[in-house]
Structure 1
Amino acid sequence: MKEGIAVAGTITVDEIKRISKYPNKSELTTIQNISRSIGGAVSNCSVSLAKIDHTIPIEIVTLIGDDEKGEFLKERLREYRNIDLNQVKMIGNTPFTDVIQDEFDHSRTFFTYRGNSSLFDENTINLKNLKSEILHIGYILLLESLDKEDSVFGTKMAKVLKEAQELGIKTSIDIVSENSSRYEQIVPPSLKYTNYCVINELEAGKSVGIDLRGSSGELIIQDIKKVLLKMKELGVKDWVVIHTPEGSFGFDGLNVYSIPSLLLDKKFIKGTVGAGDAYVSGVLYGALKGLDLPNSMKLGTAAAASSLFEEDSTSGIKCYEQLITMYEEFPKKDEIKL
């Protein structure tokens, strides 16, 4: 019997640099603080899940370089007894990301070295050896080999997801946010073989060609439901979820849900790195435990909010009981009616 969650794909070391304000081109700014943490979908989601529930089995599938950054990642991941590293392979150079954390507006800017991520391909995951009930893969648009075209399934990623479903494994995807026109070509093939698609508003909108942010940055509320329904039409089997700072929105094939974000005092927000992965982890944990979509979204909302209390991507994540209490007790933003 399969149990637990496998997290596959991108892993990095985050080199976090806190600055007072992001400079214009050719200007100078001062780095106020430097720290290092694990990063990428594999690190962020596996550790978030381990902190939410230390009893669930978690398998990770990724490539780590035989270098100092790779040793750092292994050392940190081995701190969690329920994380299985048996499908971690060592090759090439470990990817890393310079995360520039703006103290002025709490935004973050990423400069990524992809390293060995291009080597992660359809043969990296030994699907038949996976013991997990759910396989989460991230990120589409960042895993070059899986983004390549496949004559039968559209992309290599879609092929892997289809093979996983045929083995009785439910699938989940995440997408990287980038300023490009690649989404509509690369993302839809994978949606046909996805059980849970939990992504942000930029990724969702670009995947179906409908912008969800206006020119002034405002959320285009009237188009959110349209995007949810379109992504379900493209093949997502169970849940489509769009998370935003204002709130999150989900569709389970029957009902559309709007869940408000928690209202946090800005002075307590130390960083936004990994908030999206924390949200995904909460939703996937809910799915694993048989929660319905709205309650899974509430758990994801609390997980994302808790991650904001620390500079890195996972230190702030609380356990399941604390997250439930957090969502119930914290003030919330106004619910957005769709």
Structure 2
Amino acid sequence: MREGIVFAGTIAVDEIKKLEKYPNRSELTTIRSISRSSGGAVSNCAITTAKIDSTLPIEVVALIGDDDKGHFLKERLGNYQNIDLSHVKVIGDTPFTDVIQDETDHTRTFFTYRGNSSLFDEDTIKFEKLNAKFLHIGYILLLDSLDQEDSEYGTKMAKVLKQAQDNGLKTSIDIVSENSNRYEKLVPPSLKYTDYCIINEIEAGKSVGIPLREFSGDLITSNIQKVLFRLKEFGVKEWVIIHTPEGSFGYDGTSFYSIPSLLIDRELIKGTVGAGDAYVAGVLYGAIKNLSLPDSMKVGTASAASSLFAEDSTSGVKSYEELIAMYGKFPKRERIEF
């Protein structure tokens, strides 16, 4: 009987640099602090899930290098007894991301080195060796080999997701946020073989060609339902969820849900890196435990909020019981109607 979850795809080391203020081009700024943490969908989601529930079986499928960053990732993931690293392969250079965080507004800018991520291809995951019930894989647009065209399925990523479903796994995808026009070509093929699509408003809007942000930065609430419906129409079988700083919005094919985000005092926020992955991990944990869509969104909301309490991606995350208490305790933003 399958149980637990496998996280596959992008893994990296985050080199976090907090700046006094992000500079304009050719200007100088001051780095206030430097730290290192595990990063990428695989390590962020695996560690977050392990902290939410230390008994849930977790498997990791990723490529790391025989280098300082690879050793760092293996040590970090190895601190959790319920994370199985037997599917990790050592090859090439470990990817890393310079996370540049502006102390004035807590915004983040990412400079990434892809390293061996281009080597993660359609044959990397050995489904016959997995025990998990759920597969979460990311990121579309960042795994070059899986973004390649496939004559039957549209992309190699879509082919892998179909193989996962054929092997009895529920599938979940994530996308990287980038400034490009690749979304409408590379994302829809995978949605046909996705059970849970949990992405942010930029990724969601670009994937279907309907914007969710004004140039001013305001959320276009009138488009939320259209985007959710369109993503589901591409073939997502269970849940479509869009998460934003203002709140998250879900659709299960029957009902739409709006869950407000938590109001966190500014002085409590140490960093925002990894908040999206923390949200995804919380929602997937709810799905694994057969919670309803809105209740799973609440777990994701609290998980993302708790990640803000630390500079890195995962140190602030709490256990499931603590997250439920946190969601009930903290004040919420005003619920967004759409």
TM-score (norm 1): 1.00
Q: Does 1:238 align with 2:233?
A: no
1:134 and 1:157 map into 2 onto residues whose CA distance is 16
**1:235 aligned partner, one-letter code:** G
Q: Which residue of 1 aligns with 2:177?
A: 177
Q: Which residue of 1 aligns with 2:312?
A: 312
Within 5 Å, which residues of 2 pair with 1:155-304? 155-304=155-304
Q: CA deviation at 1:94?
A: 0.3
Q: Which residue of 2 aligns with 1:139?
A: 139
Q: CA deviation at 1:127?
A: 1.1
Q: Does 1:63 align with 2:63?
A: yes
- Secondary structure of the 2:3 match is coil
Q: CA deviation at 1:153?
A: 0.2
1:254 and 1:143 map into 2 onto residues whose CA distance is 33
**2:204 aligned partner, one-letter code:** A
1:79 and 1:288 map into 2 onto residues whose CA distance is 23
Q: Which residue of 2 aligns with 1:97?
A: 97
Q: Provide Cα deviations, 1:59-108, integer angstroms capped at 9, x if missing partner.
A: 00000001111001101110000000011000000001110111000001
Superposition RMSD in Å: 0.4
1:82 and 1:190 map into 2 onto residues whose CA distance is 29
1:267 and 1:236 map into 2 onto residues whose CA distance is 39
**2:39 aligned partner, one-letter code:** G
Long gaps (5+) in structure 1? none
Q: CA deviation at 1:130?
A: 1.0
**1:121 aligned partner, one-letter code:** D
Q: How many residues align?
A: 338
- Secondary structure of the 2:6 match is strand
- Secondary structure of the 2:324 match is helix
Q: Provide Cα deviations, 1:251-276, integer angstroms capped at 9, x if missing partner.
A: 01110000000011111111100000
2:16 and 2:98 map into 1 onto residues whose CA distance is 6
2:269 and 2:20 map into 1 onto residues whose CA distance is 14
1:75 and 1:245 map into 2 onto residues whose CA distance is 32
Q: Provide Cα deviations, 1:102-131, integer angstroms capped at 9, x if missing partner.
A: 100000111100000000000000011110
1:263 and 1:36 map into 2 onto residues whose CA distance is 27
**2:125 aligned partner, one-letter code:** I
Within 5 Å, which residues of 2 pair with 1:41-52? 41-52=41-52
**1:46 aligned partner, one-letter code:** A
- Secondary structure of the 2:104 match is coil
- Secondary structure of the 2:86 match is strand
Q: Provide Cα deviations, 1:150-185, integer angstroms capped at 9, x if missing partner.
A: 000000000000011011100000000000000000
What is the aligned-residue identity percentage?
72
Q: Which residue of 2 aligns with 1:115?
A: 115
Q: CA deviation at 1:300?
A: 0.1
- Secondary structure of the 1:94 match is coil
1:91 and 1:84 map into 2 onto residues whose CA distance is 18
Q: Does 1:77 align with 2:61?
A: no
1:50 and 1:208 map into 2 onto residues whose CA distance is 33
- Secondary structure of the 1:296 match is helix
**1:248 aligned partner, one-letter code:** S
Q: Provide Cα deviations, 1:204-226, integer angstroms capped at 9, x if missing partner.
A: 00000000000101000000000
- Secondary structure of the 2:112 match is strand
- Secondary structure of the 1:214 match is coil
2:94 and 2:256 map into 1 onto residues whose CA distance is 40
Q: Which residue of 2 aligns with 1:325?
A: 325
2:86 and 2:192 map into 1 onto residues whose CA distance is 29
Q: Provide Cα deviations, 1:215-247, integer angstroms capped at 9, x if missing partner.
A: 101000000000000000000000000000000
Within 5 Å, which residues of 2 pair with 1:10-21? 10-21=10-21
Extract structure 1 runs of 4+ deviating beyond 6 A. none
TM-score (norm 2): 1.00
- Secondary structure of the 1:87 match is coil
1:183 and 1:266 map into 2 onto residues whose CA distance is 33
2:254 and 2:3 map into 1 onto residues whose CA distance is 27
2:72 and 2:15 map into 1 onto residues whose CA distance is 12
- Secondary structure of the 1:106 match is coil
Q: Which residue of 2 aligns with 1:150?
A: 150
